Amino acid sequence: MESISLKCPAKVNLSLDVVGKREDGYHLLRMINQSVSLYDYIKVEKFKKGIVVTSNKYDIPLDSSNTCYKAAKCILEKFQIDSGVKIHIEKNIPYGAGLGGGSSDAAGVIKAMKELFNLNMSLEDMMNIGVLVGADVPYCIVNRTSLVEGIGEVVTPIEKIEDLYIVIAKPKVNISTKEVYSKLKLDEINKRPDIDKLLNYIKAKNYKMLASNMVNVLETVTLVEYPILNEIKNIMLEFNAEGSIMTGSGSAIIGVFQDKKQAEICYNRLRDYLKDVFLVKTVNEGV
């Protein structure tokens, strides 16, 4: 086998809480993550030496700061592989959106190289490499409805959410995750998600209650600084979303629907307003 092609799904947060801060500055999270049917596509092939990254998009870094490059470098070094890899990324997931596109691509590289070089890696091994690349990568390796804790490295798969429609809208705003966390005031957060209650709603398949009780505490920073995010949320709710929140540190906003037609109406309304709007479904594709 000389090459492998994979599709790498975006992820959304159905709630996100920041429960503390480590001494090294990393924030401790408790969140519910879900993969959705918006994909980047990657092709990984054996190469004589080194790491070469190419893409259909000119405005993403293709050097050693790229998450796919970092993932490949970790594996080549860990397993002392003499040859290299060529990685092509077909980007469809907007970046700077909180949709985990770069993390999902890195997870795809780890999975592809496991097969390509016939490496003896368990799920845990892949996740341990993933967290060296980025906090969202371990979840993107598991790739299904999960409770995610710690800095993102503790992933517990839960009851799968199936056949739920999600409208994703990203304004022309790229938000720095680092900046959002630096401005977050933990002691001033008044409204937090009741994650345990949400887990029970998911178990009972009560998606209406799940959607109407979603909370992302990072909105306490972003909604003040970027009023357009609130405008998008309000449009989604006006067009019958059962709930709407920002995913990750933004700038994408999601609206949750059980009814496909209602989701389509909301999608079409937002398409008049924004370029990056997607109508997707929940997916649980595993490793």
**b/e sequence 45-73, b meaning 16+ C-beta within 10 Å:** bbbeeebebebeeeebebeeebbbbbbbb
DSSP 95-151: SSSSS-HHHHHHHHHHHHHHHHTT----HHHHHHHHHHH-TTHHHHHH-SSEEEEET
Q: Which residues are annotated as part of the binding site for ATP?
A: 94-104
In the set 11, 70, 111, 114, the catalytic residue is: 11
- Spatial CB neighbours of 189, under 8 Å, sequence gap ≥ 6: 18, 217, 220
Q: Establish whether 136 is a catalytic residue.
A: yes
φ, ψ of residue 149 to 5 degrees: the values are -135, -175
Annotated binding site: 94-104
Of 105, 136, 170, 233, the catalytic one is 136
Residue 74 structure tokens: 């970790």
End-to-end CA distance of the chain: 19
> Is the C-alpha dihedral spanning 148, 154, 157, 158 positive or negative?
negative
17 is catalytic: no
Give the distance from CA 18 to its chain's centroid: 17
Chain centre distance of CA 199: 19
Cβ pair 140, 8 in contact under 8 A: yes
d(CA 59, CA 77): 28
Catalytic residues: 11, 136
